[in-house]
Amino acid sequence: MYIDKKKELLTCFFQLTCEMEAMLEKEEYEQLDEKLNERQRIIEAVNELDRQIGTEQARQATVHMESLLRMAAKKESEVYSKMVHHKNKLGEELQKINRSKRLNQSYQDTPYNTDGYFIDRTIRSR
C-alpha cells in the first residue's frame, strides 16, 4: 500500500516535470507556476507518507524506487537549467527594451513650456 502510493506520487511528480520541460521548450510560461505548486503538493504528500510509515520503512521503499528517483532527479536538473537559461534570456530582453526606451526618451525633443505668461511693461517717462 505505502510503496504503491509513494510510487504513484513520484510518477506524477516525474510527469509534471516532463510537462514543465515541454512548456519551457514551447515558451509557455503562464502555467509554470501552477505546475510548480502541484509538484510542491506532491513533495509534501510524499513527506507526510514517509512520516506516517517511519524512517526505516521509508528508507527501504526508497531503495525499491531508486531508478524512478534517479530519472526524476535527472529530469529535475534538466528543467532547472532550462528555467535558468530562459530567465536569463528574458532578463536580457528586458534590459534591451529598457535601454532602448531610455535612448528614445533622451533623444526625443522636449516640448516647450506652454504655460507662458504675458508681461506688459510700459515705460513711462517722468
pLDDT tens-digit profile of 44-59?
998 888 888 877 777 7
User: Taking Cα atoms as reference points, which of 49, 48, 42, 56 lies closest to residue 2?
Assistant: 49
Looking at residue 68, what is its pLDDT? 85
> What's the rounded Cα separation, in Å, for the pair 66 and 83?
25
For 44, phi and psi rounded to 5 degrees?
-65, -35
Vertex 62 angle, CA 6 and 10, to 5°: 35
Going from N- to C-terminal start, the domains of the chain cover 2-103
Return the number of other C-beta atoms located less than 10 Å from residue 32's C-beta: 16
How much is the pTM?
0.67
Looking at residue 81, what is its pLDDT? 93
Looking at residue 60, what is its pLDDT? 80
Looking at residue 122, what is its pLDDT? 65
pLDDT higher than 80, residue 77: yes
